[in-house]
Structure formats: C-alpha cells, structure tokens
Amino acid sequence: MDYPHPILAKEGWPFIAIALCVAIAASLFLPGFVATLAWLALVFVLQFFRDPPRAVPTGAGLVLSPADGRIVKVARVRDPYADREALLISVFMNVFNVHSNRSSVDGTIQSVQYFPGKFVNADLDKASTENERNAVVIDAGGQTITLVQVAGLIARRILCYVKPGDSLTRGQRYGFIRFGSRVDVYLPIDAMPRVVAGDKVSATSTVLATLASR
C-alpha cells in the first residue's frame, strides 16, 4: 500500500512513454502541424496523470475529499453498500482533474465490492447505480464511511489497491480511475456537510464534512 508521490502517477507511465515516442517520431517524420499536435497530446497526457502531494488537514471528525473535481450532489440517500441511510456527497472529475483517489478518513477496510456496469456520463445521478463501480466500506472509529469509484463516459478502468482488513490513513492513495469519472462518499446521516453542489474541491486538502461526535 505504500505509494510515495512521484509527481506523475505510475498508472500513466506507459501512456506517457507512448505519447513521448509518438511526439518524437512526428517531429522527425511528419509535417510541423502534425508534430505540434503530437506534442500537445503529450502535454495533455502529462497533466492527466499528474499526482501531486497534498497537505493533510488535522482535526477530529474531518472527512476529506477523495478526489479533485466538482461537487455534483449533496443529499440524503440509501447507501446500498453498507445498507443504511446516509448523507451522499458526490465528486465529479473531468479529464483535466487529478485522478488519483485518496482516503477520506483514518480507518479499516470492511469490504471491497466491485460491480460491472455501463459507462454513461459520470455527471448524471444514474451513474452512481448504473455505471461500473467499486465500493470501499471503511470503519472509521465506529463510524461507517463508503467511498465508491464510479467509471464515466470515457473512463474504462477503475483501479483499487486495498482489500478487507487493510488500514488507511487520511490522504493515503488507494486507487485511480482513468479518463473522467466520479467518487461517491456515503457518510453517517448525522454528518455535517461543509460543501454544496457546484463547489470545486481538491483531494485530501478539501474538507467535505464533519462527523458527529460519538
């Protein structure tokens, strides 16, 4: 599980290498306009797979954003993965966001559940229940937090590196989704949200909510 931040995510290294080779070849053998497009494509791939370190906020009961992106939903719903009423906060990632997924809380993995599905636009509500997704249920000191990686219209690969029994710390990298996606965060129903729909958030450094004291 240890994963030092390499600035560029390891998931992207093959794509970066291919894009670099194509750009070099285009510069040597193709017209200047085509070569320029190839170098721009390399820049896009580099920005997509960037994976910068983030400062981790301290404080009791904080739930941190698991991803960069925009809040598309804050609502009370049913958490189908932990079978409970919950507060749902959904983060939509477009292709220009960092796509590394990081733990929102300190805790122990209770279950990891993968579901095959569709690839509709992850900005839509139905993506949470119809798209390919991977749910990680965490016991955070007696409170249940569910993080769900949801594939999107372009995303075709959900990567998750944890298993039941593993321990996670706030901000620890646990997965990656390639090319546009969404992460749903299901919290105890009495959690206090600190974001609203439309807010832009950053993985780890943005606080999504505060858990009630137990």
Pairing of strands 62-64, 69-79: unpaired
For residue 145, being part of any structural domain is answered with yes
Residue 163 per-residue DSSP state: -
Is 162 in contact with 147 (CB distance < 8 Å)?
no
pTM for the predicted model, two decimal places: 0.85
Instruction: Express each pLDDT in 124-144 by its tens digit.
Output: 666 677 778 899 999 999 999
> Same structural domain for residues 66 and 46?
no
> Same structural domain for residues 76 and 16?
no
Q: Which of 22-31, 57-66, 123-132, 169-178 has the lowest average pLDDT?
A: 123-132
Position 1 scores a pLDDT of 42
Is 154 in contact with 186 (CB distance < 8 Å)?
no
For residue 67, being part of any structural domain is answered with yes
Pairing of strands 143-151, 200-201: unpaired
| Secondary element (H or E) of residue 170 | none
CB burial of 109-134 (b: ≥16 within 10 Å; e: otherwise) equals bbebeebeeebeebbeeebbeebbbb
> Same structural domain for residues 27 and 127?
no
For residue 196, being part of any structural domain is answered with yes
CATH number of residue 84's parent domain? 2.70.70.10
Compute CA 47 distance to the chain's CA centroid, rounded to the nearest angstrom: 16
Better-predicted residue by pLDDT, 94 or 211: 211
Instruction: Express each pLDDT in 50-107 by its tens digit.
Output: 888 888 998 889 999 999 999 999 999 999 999 999 999 999 988 888 888 999 999 9
SS (H, E, C) 114-151: EECCECCCCCCCCHHHHECEEEEEEEECCEEEEEEEEE
> Same structural domain for residues 38 and 93?
no
Q: What is the DSSP string of 172-206?
A: -EEEEEESSEEEEEEEETT-EE---TT-EE-TTTS
> Same structural domain for residues 103 and 19?
no
For residue 56, being part of any structural domain is answered with no
Q: Is the pLDDT of residue 110 over 70?
A: yes
Count of structural domains within the chain: 2
- Please tell me the distance from the alpha carbon of residue 176 to that of residue 199, in angstroms, as a whole number: 22
Q: Is the pLDDT of residue 117 over 80?
A: no
What does the angle CA 108 – CA 67 – CA 88 come to, to the nearest 5 degrees? 70
Q: Is the pLDDT of residue 32 over 50?
A: yes
For residue 147, being part of any structural domain is answered with yes
Is 196 in contact with 74 (CB distance < 8 Å)?
yes
| Phi, psi (rounded to 5 degrees) for 103 | -65, 140
Better-predicted residue by pLDDT, 50 or 187: 187
For residue 82, being part of any structural domain is answered with yes
> Same structural domain for residues 116 and 184?
yes
Task: Quote the domain boundaries for residue 126.
Answer: 62-210
Residues 6 or more apart whose CB falls under 8 angstroms from that of 36 comprise: none
> Same structural domain for residues 76 and 155?
yes
> Same structural domain for residues 200 and 181?
yes
Residues noted as catalytic: 181
> Same structural domain for residues 124 and 177?
yes
For residue 1, being part of any structural domain is answered with no
